[in-house]
Each structure stands twice: as C-alpha cells, then as structure tokens.
Amino acid sequence: MIVFCVIVLLLPVCGSVPLTGWVQSPGHPRGYDPDSSLTWKECAPTGHKITLTLIHLDLEESFECEDDSLKVFADDELLITLCGRKSMKELQSSINPSLHSSSGGCLSVSFLADYSNPERHTGFRGFYGIQDVDECEDPDNECTQLCNNYIGGYRCFCRPGYTLDPDKHTCQVSCSEDRTGSPEGVLTSPGRPEPYPKNSVCSYTLAVEEGLQFELTFTGVFDVEMKENGQCIDSLTIKPLSGDVKTFCGRDLPPFFLTRSQQVEIVFNTDHKGENRGFSLSYRVKEMNCFGPVTPTSSLISQHSDSEYPRGSKVKVKCDKGHVLRSNDSAEVEYESTCQKNGKWSPVIPCESVDCGHPELPELVELSEKDPPTTYLKQISFKCKSQYYQLDKTGSFTCNAEGNWVSESGQKLTEDLPKCEPVCGMNSDVSFGGRVFGGKRVALGQIPWQILHKSSPRGGASLISDYWALTAAHVVDGYEENTMNWLGGLIDGLDKNPVIMETEKIIIHPNYQKVGKNGNPNKFDNDIALIKMSARVTLGPNIRPVCLPNKTDEIVAEGTVSGFGRTEDKLRSQYLLEGLVQIYSLDKCDSRGLPVTHNMFCAGGDNIDSCQGDSGGPLFSPVLGYGSPDKPYRLAGIVSWGPPGCGNSFKGYYTKVQNYLDWIKETMEKN
C-alpha cells in the first residue's frame, strides 16, 4: 500500500471544539489547598484525536498515589495515575506519548487532593490540542492498494487498470468481458503469463444461438491457489445456463468437456495474496446433440450404437427392471422420444420405482419399522404387537419387480404371511409350592393356563391357544355349544373379576364312550374334548396357554397336577391347588377292575392325587418352578378318572395328550 501525505497549515475542525488550551490544578502555580479537586473533559471530532502534554507535575508523594493524585482517562478507560514530582524531561519521554484519545474519542482528567498538605506543592499544568489522525499509517485501514490521508479522514484509490469496489477499500482488476456471438476464442487470467492480480472478480460471458453448445479445452499451465486440504482459495467457476456448475483450482489441468448449454458464464475469483499463474482455455461451438439415458433408471433402445444422438433421432425409452412410467397406465414401461434442437429429449416421462405398498396384515401382526419404504428392492419385516405372542416364522420380505412382497425363498407374502401365535408354556417367575388333594395354594400367574368351570360338573381345562382349550370329554358331555362359561386369570374361585370366556364350540373326540357296549360303566377311553371360545382371549401375565407335547417326547417321570377340586376335608377347594406326582406305567396302578387303555397313564404321590372337581385340568411337566424358555411347560395329561377315593395309595388316571396331537391339530384347523 502506498501512502500520500497532505500538509494542511490551518483548517478549523469544529466551531464548538477549541483546537488548543490549558488545563491545570487549582491555585497553580502558588499551590493547591487541601481537599481541592478538578475534573476536565474534551472530545475530538471524527478523524481527529485529542492529546495532552504535561509540562509541570508537583503533587504530594504517597503509596500508590492514595493521598493526592492526577488521573488521565481516554474514552473512559484509565491511562495513568500520577503523583510526586516529575521533571519536564521525564514527562516528555515516558508519560506524554501515551496521553491521547482514539480517533473521534475523548480525553478526561481527574485531580483530587486529600485533607492534609504538610508542605506546599504547586500542582500540575498541561497543554491539550486536537490533531488530525493519519489513518493511512493504520495497517487496519483495509486499503488494498493506495491510501490518501486528509484532515478528518482518508480515502482508498487504485492503480490504473483497477476499479474500486463498492466497499470503497478493495481494488479489483477490470477483467469482465461479454463475448456473446463469438463462436471460438481463448480466455486467460489477467496478466498471463505473469501472476494474476489479487482481489479480482473476472466474469466472462459466452453465448450463441439455440442449438449450439460450447466445447472448453484447458491448455498450458493451470495454477490457481488452493489449500493443502484441497479447498479452493482462488477459483475458476464455469456456470452453464443449464446443467452442473463446475469449480476448479490447484495445479491439475481440468479435462475437456462439453457445456451442454448455448450460454456459459466463467467467473474467476482471487483473494488478497498469492503469486499464481492462472489459466488459459480455448472455446469453440458445435451442434447440440442428445445423450442417453433420457431419465434416470431407464435405458435406450436405438439403432445407434453411440451414446450421443444427433437432432431428430428417435429412440425407445425403456424403464429399468422394477420401474414403471409415471403415467395413467402404471403398467407401461417404454415409450418413444425424439432429440430436439436444444439437445433435449421430448417427451420425457420419468420411470418410477414399483411400489409394493403396505401389506394388509392379520390381527396381532405389525411392521417392525414404522412407515418403511415400500418401493422396488426395499425390505420389510414383522413383529407381534404383544409380548405374549411370537411369529410362526421369521425373516424379511423384498419388494420385487412385479410389485409383490416375496420371501427369501421366493414365496409371495400373501401365500406365506407370518402369523402371531401365543407364547406357550411360560408363567410368572414366582415360586409357591403346593398339592391338589393334600395340596397348597398356587400364586397368581404360576399356572396361567388353568381355567375353571364352576357350575356342575365342576371341572378344569387348559388353554392351548388364545381361542382353544383342552379338557376331559366327560366334563363337557351333554352341554350344548354357547351354554358353558369358563373363568380364567384367577386362583380364587370366588374372585369377583375373573376373565369370563364363553364357548362357541364343544368338540368331543369321536371315539369317546363313557359307557361300554356291554354296559361296563366308567369306560373313559378317548376322554378328551376341545373347547373353542367365542372371542379371542386377551393374554397377559395371568392367563396364557400351555404347550402341547411333541410326538417324539418320551413319557415324563414326574409332573405337576392342578385344580379347584376336592381336598382332604372339603368337597371342593376355593383356591387353585397344585402338587407334584410321579407318573407310572399302567401295570403299576390299581384300576380296581375298571378297564384301561394305551390312551391313559396313571400318576400319584405321597398322599397326593387329583380328585373330584379336578377333572379336565392339566398335568404338565417339567415340575412347577423348573420351566424356562428353552424348556417350556407342556401338557402331558388331562385329569380323567380314578378308583373311588383320593390320596393315600390311590393313583389317578389321565388322558395321554401325546396320542391325540393329530386330532387336535386337524380339529382346530377345520373349526
């Protein structure tokens, strides 16, 4: 930056502000009195500063000037605190140079003497004046080239070939050019091959008639200032009328490219530093052609093998797999398009992804992700709405090109829709021992599959799903459908808020026969029945199903029996009781001459037995308290019959559920 100085001999600054004057302590030079004081303040106009030159200082000396003091402030900030005696030489060398305000600021003085003055002190005297500020000497004045100072201000100006920016400080090279109508030529950075100027914004406009475009080729050395991290400091930006904007910097020669536009603006920006050589590029026009594809996610079917098509070319546009045309007929996937004079195709119909939509889901099933994308190749998965259910199959489904959700094996979702099935064989994690005949009470949620029929005949059943329960045939024999009520979610038979379940169907095994052909009473072969409820049972911690056994399971050695039946001293129990029983082969049990079959097994314990009123209830394994997600509780038997009397050496007989798995499955599927 070059500085020009102008000497002005005399110029009034402001009629209301004196250019010079004196300020001194009271009584100077005879001496100031105790408790005397003085305040003084003057301000400079814009572009000026006010200075104070002390020519005399004689005040009482004290520690940190706490007795008598002279304080000088600039713009309300303390510059110095003085006391004692100073010579003129000391004042000029170390104090006076700092006593001035900022440009357009104020200078003030505060003198204060205390109550005593052991010896006479003459005080202080100073000369103040208003001076012009030379802004050109200030490195922060922001003039990028030349600076001219005048009284009250300064101005920036530029060397020949540059113009002053509207900010009045920045000089920019005059390098913008309009080359409209020019079909070819060369553009270079200003001053090339010398380093380009600083603080410049050059704008070059290229424009020709419709149907033509510009080819740009960079030649020679390319050198535009760039940071080490690749960020541009200076930049060359190419802006087509339509299409992508490209910005270049660094030392790598940019590649040749077509602008695909009849008008291009080329902008060259530089900052205030650097010694770089810039750029050189040649341009020429050529006829506008069309390029494929016409739209994303589509391809061209044409007789041309090139990717560039002259005007008038006709092509078939075909949507890629999994996409269809955005038109009234969403099944269409191709159309004809023609290359226009402006290098654009017409018509242009976008190809959209096939959308499989949100599937209709069965009750209890929901999507794992809320509002997932449902277009081509997107995936969805499912989950159950309740923690008491689990999917019968896992995995994700993918939207295919035909608009169908398909599994990994290729099956359509509509053919392989996952279902939520109740989690079976799990109970609340509690421990509460007990017996049935001679038993103890059960904790709520411990045997949540046990349900109760209170009226005659009193009996039990076991939930095996959220619609079906399994019981003994003789418990429901004689009842018509829709006439039985069952209670669940309770351990107290007098509970006032049980879950009430009404039956919709009662299906007794077709081979059940309570009285034999020869009149033999109490023949309980095939003593099993299915109950379907009229509405889905709302599962929860206190009411949920037990698992059925597997066909391949070996007969268990022990299990738990439960029910609301007879106890030692009562005809029936108010509370649900449970007990551990051993399971025996039929030859180990005494049937008292009554017939037994392979569809039965017997079980009992040390004065533990099922009894009247427990009929239809469960015998399950493992023993209560030992179930787990890996070893859920399974229904091994249904309380069926027994010899007269309960407990002691008696053992009850149970319907062997494992023998009826096919019948249970088929019956539930048909009903």
Which 3-state string (H, E, C) describes 57-69?
A: EECCCCHHHCCCE
Query: In the prediction, which pLDDT does 273 show?
Result: 86
- Out of 28, 100, 323, 474, the active site residue is 474
pLDDT tens column, 587-600: 888 777 788 899 99
Does one domain contain both 149 and 223? no
In a domain, 585, yes or no: yes
| 667: three-class secondary structure by DSSP | helix
Does one domain contain both 17 and 147? no
In a domain, 369, yes or no: yes
Q: Are strands 177-180 and 201-207 parallel, antiparallel or unpaired?
A: parallel
pLDDT tens column, 97-150: 999 998 889 999 999 999 888 889 999 999 999 988 888 888 777 787 888 888
Q: Which has more confidence, 518 or 211?
A: 211
CA angle, corner 305, sides to 299 and 311, nearest 5?
Answer: 80
Nearest of 244, 667, 246, 255 to residue 467 by alpha carbon: 667
Query: In the prediction, which pLDDT does 158 show?
Result: 83
CA pair distance 158, 168, nearest whole angstrom: 10
Which of 149, 171, 193 delimits the end of a domain? 171
Binding residues for Ca(2+): 60, 68, 114, 116, 132-133, 135, 149-150, 153, 225, 234, 271
Q: Could you tell me if 370 and 382 are in contact, meaning their C-beta atoms sit under 8 angstroms apart?
A: no
Query: In the prediction, which pLDDT does 182 show?
Result: 93
Is residue 6 over pLDDT 80?
Answer: no
Query: In the prediction, which pLDDT does 369 show?
Result: 93
Does one domain contain both 251 and 361? no
Residue 319: pLDDT band with limits 50, 70, 90:
very high
Does one domain contain both 180 and 151? no
Query: In the prediction, which pLDDT does 52 show?
Result: 95
Question: What DSSP string describes 447-460?
Answer: STTEEEE-SSSPEE
Query: In the prediction, which pLDDT does 431 show?
Result: 44
Is residue 521 over pLDDT 80?
Answer: no
pLDDT tens column, 214-267: 999 999 999 999 998 999 999 999 999 888 899 999 999 999 988 888 999 999
In a domain, 283, yes or no: yes
Residue 12: pLDDT band with limits 50, 70, 90:
very low
Q: Express as a percent the part of the chain with pLDDT over 70.
A: 91
Locate all alpha helices (DSSP H) within 75-191, ordered by sequence: 88-90
* Token pair for 104: 């357009």
474 is catalytic: yes
Q: Which segment of 35-44, 185-194, 560-569, 623-632 scores lowest on mean pLDDT?
A: 560-569
pTM, 2 dp: 0.60
Total count of domains within the chain: 6
Please enumerate, as own/partner, the contacts of 131-140 that have beta carbons within 8 Å and a separation of 24 or more: 131/48, 131/49, 131/50, 131/51, 132/8, 132/47, 132/48, 133/47, 133/48, 133/49, 133/103, 134/5, 135/47, 135/103, 136/1, 136/3, 136/4, 136/5, 137/3
Does one domain contain both 161 and 182? no
Nearest of 78, 79, 29, 34 to residue 55 by alpha carbon: 29
Query: In the prediction, which pLDDT does 3 show?
Result: 46
Residue 161: pLDDT band with limits 50, 70, 90:
low
Query: In the prediction, which pLDDT does 650 show?
Result: 67
35 is catalytic: no
Is residue 278 over pLDDT 70?
Answer: yes
CA pair distance 197, 285, nearest whole angstrom: 30
In a domain, 156, yes or no: yes
Q: What is the CATH number of the domain that holds 376?
A: 2.10.70.10
Does one domain contain both 343 and 195? no
Does one domain contain both 359 and 344? no
Is residue 363 over pLDDT 60?
Answer: yes
Burial 465-497 (b: 16+ CB within 10 A, else e): bbbbbbbbbbbbeebeeeebebbbbbbebeeee
Nearest of 383, 464, 378 to residue 423 by alpha carbon: 464
**Helix (H), strand (E) at residue 668:** helix 661-670
| 586: three-class secondary structure by DSSP | helix
pLDDT tens column, 423-470: 999 998 644 333 344 457 899 999 999 999 988 888 999 999 999 999
Does one domain contain both 574 and 450? yes
Query: In the prediction, which pLDDT does 434 show?
Result: 34
Is residue 73 over pLDDT 80?
Answer: yes
609 is catalytic: no
In a domain, 202, yes or no: yes
CA pair distance 577, 435, nearest whole angstrom: 6
Q: What's the whole-number average pLDDT of the chain?
A: 87
Does one domain contain both 241 and 294? no
Q: What are phi and psi of 391, to 5 degrees?
A: -70, 145
Query: In the prediction, which pLDDT does 570 show?
Result: 62
pLDDT tens column, 28-37: 999 999 999 9
Query: In the prediction, which pLDDT does 2 show?
Result: 46
CA pair distance 336, 291, nearest whole angstrom: 15
Q: What is the CATH number of the domain that holds 143?
A: 2.10.25.10
Does one domain contain both 520 and 647? yes
Is residue 631 over pLDDT 90?
Answer: yes
Strand spans (E) along 320-434: 323-325, 334-339, 345-346, 351-353, 365-367, 379-380, 382-384, 389-391, 397-399, 405-406, 420-422
What would the mean pLDDT of 506-510 be, rounded to a whole number? Answer: 95
Structural domain range at position 103: 2-133
Q: Which segment of 5-14, 40-49, 81-90, 638-647 scores lowest on mean pLDDT?
A: 5-14
- Out of 313, 337, 615, 640, the active site residue is 615
Q: What is the CATH number of the domain that holds 112?
A: 2.60.120.290
Does one domain contain both 156 and 244? no
Query: In the prediction, which pLDDT does 540 show?
Result: 95
CA pair distance 508, 524, nearest whole angstrom: 12
In a domain, 45, yes or no: yes
Which of 171, 197, 223 delimits the end of a domain? 171
Which of 79, 105, 133 delimits the end of a domain? 133
Nearest of 378, 376, 398, 379 to residue 322 by alpha carbon: 376
Q: Express as a percent the part of the chain with pLDDT over 90.
A: 61
